[in-house]
Amino acid sequence: MSFKHKHNSGFTLTEVLVITSLTVIIMLSSVVLFMTFLLNQNLISQKQKLKTEGDNALKQITQILREANQITDCPFVNQTSLTFIDPTQAEISLTVVDSRLTINQTDLSINLNSEDLSAQNLLVTCREGEEATLVSVSFELTNNTALRFTETPITQTFSTTVSLRN
């Protein structure tokens, strides 16, 4: 009698389960890596926005202070606002109003930070020297938009020292 051995083609159930399990593990690790990448990108973009707005506010403060004719009540240490006279003899003040870093003139108010960032801890120091008046300004900006993966808001401190030209 002759026996014919039939060759079965295909995969066994064990082989299919092993391959499926490995595929699922690889896919899950890929998703975790991708989600981590997205969250880190969000954090980096928020930090960059915070830094950009803070630097822009410092540039504007530096520019208007360099052109100031006189600082009111100078010398002083760690005040929470600054009042000065500009070249047109207008009185201008730098304050924090409703979490916005604001430059106020008689009929004009300029916000130096956007609504999704809050400003706090504005400190101004003025020193009169023999050659120039030095004004130091520092403030903090905090990101108001909640980060999903952390409870701590992003905060950065900005500071500058300006020598008055006039």
What pLDDT does residue 1 have? 56
The 8-class DSSP code of residue 48 comes to H
Domain boundaries, given as residue ranges, for the chain: 13-163
44-69: b (≥16 Cβ within 10 Å) or e: eebeebbeebbeebbeebbebbeebe
Instruction: Please indicate whether residue 53 or residue 88 has the higher confidence score (pLDDT).
Output: 53
CA triplet 137, 139, 145: central angle to 5 degrees? 155
pTM of the predicted model, to two decimals?
A: 0.76
Q: Tell me: the pLDDT tens digits for 18-62?
A: 999 999 999 999 999 999 999 889 888 889 999 999 999 999 999
